[in-house]
């Protein structure tokens, strides 16, 4: 591997000319950008998706309801570079006593496998969304190795001999009111209590007391409970959790009854299956910033964009060192991504989550290239990993 990048803990660099290569098809550079509240320092990874040695995929802590630093996820997966991903259930200050799951807001696909679907938009964590966007928006790369912006919506059913129930959630930290959601081994061991808190219009609304949970194994109901459970879910087992009307539907199921649970994610635009997808929100489409982007609130940001019909990937992370912490507005991020050549661009989690990592020359593990505002490096829900194979 070839690399050349600022190591974590180094003094913030000034504008750096030239491109430094992580590997064939993967380049890194850093540079200064003038912004409304002062100069910021940017870190950019450029990835050539046409290079047969290169691929991108989701970085994951090993479970949907878990968190890990980007550097740890990258090293565990064998990535040579990466950035942080989606916004996530970072705390539960609004529901004292309820465990924060660490699960991400939007849909997630890793290695072509669907991990989760999107929480209701009112239940998301993160800044206000631009008009016309919601939690189903994703950035992804298809099995055709092309990057896209899209929306992924869950379609699912719970079928018994006598009825078909709608499935409206998959491994989500929040369920819509009156709905039923499914939890699999991919969820992890965190409590499912959070999924019954909040409402379709207010994340801070109280937790429902009208809940019911059913455990399915080998196509049959094997257990039930009036309260959401916790602990690892064995492979081959599905837990159905309902709140309000959804709880009433699950109460009709009896032990030993045959149940078939099916779910699939449907893309609004692409007909090509996704190898990976991550949540966030779009800021640039067809070379134009979205209408209504916030132009006043500045922060340290992470963004991803693409050019050349989705064949060239741009990963941007701002530096969180004190000298540059004033950051950029989302409107400025959209403009900067356009100037860097992106046709479409997507905002990821920022602030203390913003982290870029890559391997330096001769290293077998990654180093943090920017200066995250959190110290030590913040544990996050997921990330975008860049992989290189000879």
Q: Which two tokens stand for residue 379?
A: 């544990």
Beta strands at 40-48 and 108-110: parallel, antiparallel or unpaired: unpaired
Express each pLDDT in 260-317 by its tens digit.
999 999 999 999 999 999 999 999 999 999 999 999 999 999 999 999 999 999 999 9
127 by DSSP, 3-state: which?
Answer: coil
Q: Which residue has the tokens 């959209």?
A: 334
With CA atoms as reference, report the closest residue to 60 among 46, 45, 70. Answer: 70
Q: How confident is the model over 372-381, as pLDDT tens digits?
A: 999 999 999 9
Band of pLDDT at residue 19, cut at 50, 70 and 90? confident
pLDDT exceeds cutoff 60 at 152: yes
pTM for the model stands at 0.95
Q: So what's the pLDDT on residue 105? A: 98
SS3 state of residue 353: helix
Residue 210 φ/ψ, nearest 5 degrees: -105, 85
pLDDT digits over 84-142, tens only?
Answer: 999 999 999 999 999 999 999 999 999 999 999 999 999 999 999 999 999 999 999 99
Which helix (H) or strand (E) is 199 found in, with range?
none
Contacts of 343 (CB under 8 A, 6+ apart): 284, 286, 287, 305, 306, 307
Mean pLDDT of 183-193: 98
pLDDT over 60 (residue 13): no
Burial 51-63 (b: 16+ CB within 10 A, else e): eeebbbbbbbbeb
Q: Report the candidate in 193, 196, 189, 181 with the shortest Cα–Cα distance to residue 238.
A: 181
DSSP label at residue 323: G
What is the reported pLDDT for 4?
29
């Amino acid at each position: 591997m070839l690399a050349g990048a600022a190591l974590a803990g180094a003094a913030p660099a000034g504008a750096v000319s030239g491109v430094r290569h992580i590997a064939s098809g993967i380049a890194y550079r850093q540079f200064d950008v003038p912004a409304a509240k002062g100069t910021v320092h940017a870190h950019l990874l450029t990835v050539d998706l046409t290079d047969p040695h290169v691929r991108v995929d989701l970085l994951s802590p090993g479970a949907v309801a878990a968190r890990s630093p980007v550097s740890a996820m990258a090293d565990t997966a064998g990535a040579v570079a990466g950035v942080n991903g989606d916004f996530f259930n970072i705390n539960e200050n609004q529901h004292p006593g309820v465990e924060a799951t660490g699960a991400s807001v939007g849909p997630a696909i890793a290695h072509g496998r669907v991990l989760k679907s999107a929480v209701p938009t009112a239940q998301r964590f993160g800044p206000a969304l631009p008009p016309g966007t919601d939690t189903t928006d994703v950035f992804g790369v298809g099995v055709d190795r092309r990057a896209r912006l899209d929306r992924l919506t869950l379609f699912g059913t719970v079928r018994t001999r006598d009825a078909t129930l709608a499935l409206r959630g998959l491994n989500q930290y929040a369920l819509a009111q009156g709905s039923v959601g499914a939890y699999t081994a991919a969820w992890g061991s965190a409590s499912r209590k959070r999924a019954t808190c909040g409402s379709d219009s207010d994340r801070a609304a109280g937790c429902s007391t009208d809940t019911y949970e059913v455990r399915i194994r080998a196509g049959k109901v094997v257990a039930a409970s009036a309260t959401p459970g916790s602990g690892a879910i064995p492979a081959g087992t599905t837990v159905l959790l309902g709140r309000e009307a959804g709880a009433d539907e699950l109460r009709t199921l009896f032990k030993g009854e045959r149940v078939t649970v099916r779910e699939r994610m449907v893309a609004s635009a692409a007909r090509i299956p996704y190898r990976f997808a991550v949540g966030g929100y779009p800021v640039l489409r067809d070379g134009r910033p979205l209408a209504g982007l916030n132009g006043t609130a500045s922060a340290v940001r992470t963004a991803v964009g693409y050019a050349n019909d989705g064949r060239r990937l741009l990963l941007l992370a701002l530096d969180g060192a004190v000298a540059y912490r004033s950051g950029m507005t989302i409107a400025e991020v959209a403009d900067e991504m356009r100037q860097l050549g992106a046709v479409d661009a997507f905002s990821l989690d920022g602030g203390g989550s913003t982290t870029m990592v890559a391997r330096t020359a001769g290293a077998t593990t990654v180093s943090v290239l920017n200066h995250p505002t959190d110290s030590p490096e913040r544990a996050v829900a997921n990330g975008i990993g860049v992989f290189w194979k000879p």
